[in-house]
Structure 1
Amino acid sequence: MHIILEQQVSLASALSALNKLKEAIQEITPARVLLLTDEELKACYFSRQKTAYVRYLAEAILNGQINLTAFENQPDDEIRTSLIKLKGIGNWTVDVYLMFVLHRTDIFPIGDLAAVQAMKKVKQLPAGVTRDEILMITEQWQPYRTVATMLLWHDYLSRRKG
């Protein structure tokens, strides 16, 4: 749910919504989230779209379509296939889930603008570099693409502060 909130917004904004949700329901569970009305979720800074996405996820967990515990022992591609079926969950969301929740060490989130921008800067890549060219560069970092991504994010954030 937190990762859905982070889609296309600042991390601070997503955290603010998550904290507001925690205030409203104490413990965040699929069942408790589904008890909230659209207005209550809006009061927790959820957009209409994110409200729908969070509801789809909560329902998929409760009806057994998604088993988060089983993901711990599944290969990345199987997890991706399961999650991508849910409305509101795309490759970036799956990548971040694999990295931060399942602690997978070989993920490069090609859809993450900060990681891609930092790579272009660090590697001094031309403006017209393609997605495929970026992915070819990241292949050299296997099996530690997640670690490389963390370093790129650090670089990106450091440049923004400076």
Structure 2
Amino acid sequence: MFEQFSHANYHNICDKLAADDPDLLQIIQNHGYPPLWSRPNTFETLVHIILEQQVSLASALSALNKLRERVQEITPARVLLLTDDEFKACYCSRQKTTYIRYLAEAIISGQIDLKAMEQMPDDMIRTQLTALKGIGNWTVDVYLMFVLQHSNVFPIGDLAAVNALKRVKNLQKETTREELLAVTEQWKPYRTVAAMLLWHYYLSQA
């Protein structure tokens, strides 16, 4: 099965990680505990994560807010009524428009059931979501971490998390993906919370 974290055990998990890793302890000592970032398990949240792919969080939020203005409530049925031009007016690229439509169709057809995913293990969720055009491992990682709060995910495709990991551990810029993942092994089964600490460090440096 999968482990989850929640407000009830979040600080305890941070403390456990810090007790075994002086670098994570230092983050907490210098910057306090990271926020417990979370999002609701909705179609709108997945649209938001798709919009966040390879752009700044601010740009993604602008596009999401424009979509909200346009359709009032972001649901699969409502976004499928939008024309290409309407999507474009909401700052959605042609590619992301396609991805959002695929997701909407998958939910309407029952191919994807977000509620059912709350009971599924990581690998089954990853298989189902990455079968959709435009959803890759980074998008699934963010969904598992922020929405379902699965406790053992390290988003190796996330630049902020990876750069923070390299800085905190004094690793070379050229350190490979495999070597980075090997470093994160020590944080199992709480790699998600370790990543939250790294993001907290990264944002505190910005």
> What range is the shorter-chain TM-score in?
over 0.9
Q: Distance in 2 between matches of 1:135 and 1:56?
A: 31
Deviation per CA, 1:105-127, whole angstroms, max 9, x where unpaired? 11100000110001000100012
How many residues were matched structurally? 160
* Structure-1 residue corresponding to 2:26: none
Structure 2 length-normalised TM: 0.76
SS at match of 2:187: coil
Larger radius of gyration: 2
Q: Which amino acid is 2:85 matched to?
A: E
Which range is displaced more, 124-133 or 69-78? 124-133
RMSD between aligned residues: 0.7
SS at match of 1:46: coil
* Structure-2 residue corresponding to 1:32: 78
> What 5-or-longer segments of structure 1 have no aligned partner?
none
Tell me, yes or no, if structure 1 residue 11 matches structure 2 residue 57: yes
Q: Distance in 2 between matches of 1:128 and 1:112?
A: 16
Q: Which amino acid is 1:19 matched to?
A: N
Tell me, yes or no, if structure 1 residue 103 matches structure 2 residue 166: no
Q: Distance in 2 between matches of 1:15 and 1:127?
A: 30
* CA shift for structure 1 position 143: 1.3
Q: Distance in 2 between matches of 1:105 and 1:10?
A: 25
* Structure-2 residue corresponding to 1:155: 201
* Structure-2 residue corresponding to 1:94: 140
Q: Which amino acid is 2:52 matched to?
A: E
* Structure-1 residue corresponding to 2:192: 146
Higher RCO (CA-CA < 8 Å; seq separation 6+): 2
Structure 1 length-normalised TM: 0.97
SS at match of 1:89: coil
Q: Which amino acid is 1:155 matched to?
A: Y
Q: Distance in 1 between matches of 2:93 and 2:134?
A: 12
Q: Distance in 2 between matches of 1:127 and 1:72?
A: 37
Extract structure 1 runs of 4+ deviating beyond 4 A. Answer: none
* Structure-1 residue corresponding to 2:117: 71
* CA shift for structure 1 position 41: 0.8
Which range is displaced more, 149-158 or 43-52? 149-158
> What 5-or-longer segments of structure 2 have no aligned partner?
1-46
Identity %: 74
Q: Which amino acid is 2:82 matched to?
A: L
Q: Distance in 2 between matches of 1:66 and 1:131?
A: 30
Deviation per CA, 1:57-86, whole angstroms, max 9, x where unpaired? 000111111111110000000000000010
